[in-house]
Amino acid sequence: MVRRCLEILAIIAVLAASLLPASCHTPAAEDSGVNKAAIIDQLYLREPNPELIAAATGILESYGFEVDVWQGTDITVDFYRQLPSLGYKFILLRVHSGLLVSLEGDKVITLDTTYLFTAENYTMTRYVADQLSDKVSNALMSDDTPLVFAVNSEFLKNADGEFNHTVVLALGCESFKYDDMPMAFIEKGASAYVGWSDVVSLEHVDAVIVRLLENLLSANVTLSQGISLTMEEMGTDPHFGSYLKYYPLESGNRTIAELIRGD
């Protein structure tokens, strides 16, 4: 059975309108001289894949990264707020993501705003300023789970610190349907962002992750070559036709080593 990409549900009281957008770790030290990588696994609590995380960790370590794995309830609004300041050179986001849409009667209007899910249960009384400034929303992962918080690209732009030539693989649904999230990461100092063009099934995401890491790190090809090889080998999502994209275009001509050095 296909696992549906989960949508964000936001309620904007001021407008009186409903909105629905279709571990073991040590914080990285920027001056340690060691390249650090983060695996951010927001799906761990409900859809864990320990074999995948172990395989991804092994590939990253073989490349020379020290790897922190952040899972489940580690993934909060404040975690995303601190993320640019944690010194990671490579970030793998195994998280739900989605787009904000407006429900006006029976009409659904998609808005070009991308959200990353947390695993933190939603309440109206936390992060009030972020909610009122439309940087944080509530998100519905499934009909039988509590709402959780989700953060958007504007939130990321205002997060603490800066990335240092970080390569970001954002492998949730619609993570690169629009360019707001890629641009936010690049504006915060990332060197490259990879995401899905549309909705993607979790089965396909998990199957692609290892091949993508092998092509980008083990084979040591350029970003564009690694993505092309992965798409040739694994294909687009069999149910939704989504495919991997990268930003900015000039990052495609560089290897991961060149990207994290800022060459």
Q: Are 151 and 127 in contact (CB under 8 A)?
A: no
Structural domain boundaries in the chain: 10-23+34-261
Q: Amino acid identity, residue 158?
A: N
What is the pLDDT averaged over residues 51-76? 97
Q: Amino acid identity, residue 250?
A: E
Query: CA dihedral defined by 2, 73, 134, 91, rounded to 10 degrees?
Result: -80
In this prediction, residue 143 has a pLDDT band, given cuts at 50, 70 and 90, of confident
Alpha-carbon Rg for the chain in angstroms? 17
What is the pLDDT averaged over residues 13-26? 37
Look at residue 217 and tell me whether its pLDDT is greater than 90: yes
Instruction: Write down the pTM of the prediction.
Output: 0.88
| Overall fold of domain 10-23+34-261 | Rossmann fold (3.40.50)
Residue 183: HSE in the Cβ half-sphere, 13 Å Cα cutoff: 9
